[in-house]
Structure formats: C-alpha cells, structure tokens
Copies of this chain bind each other. A is one copy, B any other.
C-alpha cells in the first residue's frame, strides 16, 4: 500500500507497554494518525528467544503495513533489541526502535560516565543497550540487570507499596548502582509505571532515563527528513489492534496511555514461512 503525509504512524509492542511510547508520540506529533498493535495473544516477548521475537515482529509489521503506515515504531525494547535488522531488511519504510534513542539520552545525561541498564531477560542478554552506548561514547562503563518481575508487577497494577519496593531492592540493591552510577536506563516500556519505586530505591543522585520521549523525537526527525509530516488538523485517527480479545487491553492499557481507549479490533496474525 502506498503512503504519503496523511498515512498513519504504525506502532507495535508485545502488549500494553508500548502505549507509553504511543503517549509520547501523540504529545510530540498530535496531528499524526496512529495505528497501534499489541500482540496480546503472545505477550510477553521479554522471556522468549530472539528467533521467536523476530518472527512475531515481522508478523506485526505485516499487519500494520496493511494500514498503509509511513513509518514503523518498534515500541518494545525486546523486539528493538533483536529484530531491527530483520525488520529493516523486510520493510519498504523507515523503522525506528526505542533503544538507540534511549541510549543517546543516557549518554548525554551521565556525568560520571557510569550507566546502568535494566530490562527484560531478552533485552539484557542481547547486549543491545551496551552496544548502542559503546558506539556513542566508548569510554562509558555500563552495567546491566534483567528484572523479569517488573513486567507482571506493572500489569498487576502493584506499582507502590512493600512488594515492588522489595523486588526493586533485590534487583537494584546488589551492586548494580554502587560506585558512581548516576544514570539508570529503564530499558522496558513497562518500567515507567514503577518509576517512583525505582527512583526511591536508586536514590536522588541517579537520573532515570525513559526512552519514550526520545523515540518520539526521533520519529519526528525521520518524518521531517522525508517530508512526510502531516500538517492538517483534519482526519487524525487512532486505531488499536490486538491479537487476543480486547477487554484486558482496554482495561490495563488506560493506565499506560494515561486516558481511556474507546475500542480495539482483534486480528489474526499470519506468521511468515
């Protein structure tokens, strides 16, 4: 399908987490139409292999291409960490992930040169943040920690109180933030919901970096470079697609998007070969 200025921005995530990125996109580019796909029938991606996450990412992209999207935003850290090369090779449109934008903010933020990254097991094992940071400033010292329980805590809505504080203490307490680390990258779109607990455990000397806004800035640049910016107020559309039944997405998603979702369409994904 052909695309032009009026075509929508496509965004996908394994589920609801990427709505934090969509929220930043809508704030940064309010006139643009958007199509968001949450692969809720296969969520989560963070504990699955790179091979399977790449296969699912290609299927998500194919479904969004049918909406004539002009740019694809991979609003999932795990998919951004493992599937960008395959997506860029397969798609005729620009593909923006969340890792490079988050890494640039972190590299620009740190004064001590010591950065910590937290994310899903898949994101951390991929080394994608470590590589992105090293390519920006090779002298940076980077530590990382997988935090698999943060995703179910955020989805359960347990975002303050004893349980998330203890879990955060367990993940962040054992040396991750010692010795001068001043910047902590929230390398998963679910983690901004736990921001206040993570900040309390990390302490005031640590700046938390959330890549949603940086990713929205990068999308604005890409559209500008290609003269694909929509300039009219008219006909701005919001579509939501899910692969499981919509109820839970609509309910939990409102917490991530910051306002209610009027409806979501359930689709069946076709996996390539």
9-residue interface stretch from A48-56, A131-139, A191-199: A48-56
Please state if B170 and A49 are interface contacts (CB–CB under 8 Å): no
In whole angstroms, what is the CA distance A137 to B48 when docked?
42
9-residue interface stretch from A78-86, A98-106, A146-154, A179-187: A146-154
Cβ contacts A158-194/B at 8 Å (1 or 0 each): 1000110011001000000000000000000000000
Q: How far is the CB of A216 from chain B (nearest CB, A)?
A: 28
In whole angstroms, what is the CA distance A248 to B52 when docked?
13
This chain: copies in complex = 2
Q: How far is the CB of A6 from chain B (nearest CB, A)?
A: 34
Q: How far is the CB of A211 from chain B (nearest CB, A)?
A: 23
In whole angstroms, what is the CA distance A52 to B43 when docked?
12
In whole angstroms, what is the CA distance A245 to B54 when docked?
13
A244 close to B (CB within 8 Å): yes
Q: How far is the CB of A195 from chain B (nearest CB, A)?
A: 20
Cross-chain contact of A49 among B42, B158, B167, B244 (Cβ < 8 A): B244
A34 close to B (CB within 8 Å): no
Interface positions, chain A 14-54, Cβ under 8 Å from B, are 40-43, 47-49, 51-52
Please state if A248 and B47 are interface contacts (CB–CB under 8 Å): yes
Cross-chain contact of A245 among B51, B163, B244 (Cβ < 8 A): B51
Chain B residues with CB under 8 A of A170: 163
A156 close to B (CB within 8 Å): yes
Chain B residues with CB under 8 A of A151: 152
Chain B residues with CB under 8 A of A42: 41-42
In the A-B complex, the 10 residue pairs with the smallest Cβ-Cβ separation, listed nearest first, are A49-B245, A152-B152, A41-B52, A52-B244, A49-B244, A163-B166, A48-B244, A149-B152, A148-B156, A42-B42
Q: Which residues of A contact B (CB under 8 A)?
A: 40-43, 47-49, 51-52, 148-149, 151-153, 155-156, 158, 162-163, 166-167, 170, 243-245, 247-248
14 residue pairs bridging A and B, Cβ less than 8 Å apart: A40-B48, A41-B48, A43-B47, A48-B244, A49-B244, A49-B245, A49-B247, A49-B248, A51-B244, A51-B245, A149-B149, A162-B166, A163-B166, A163-B167
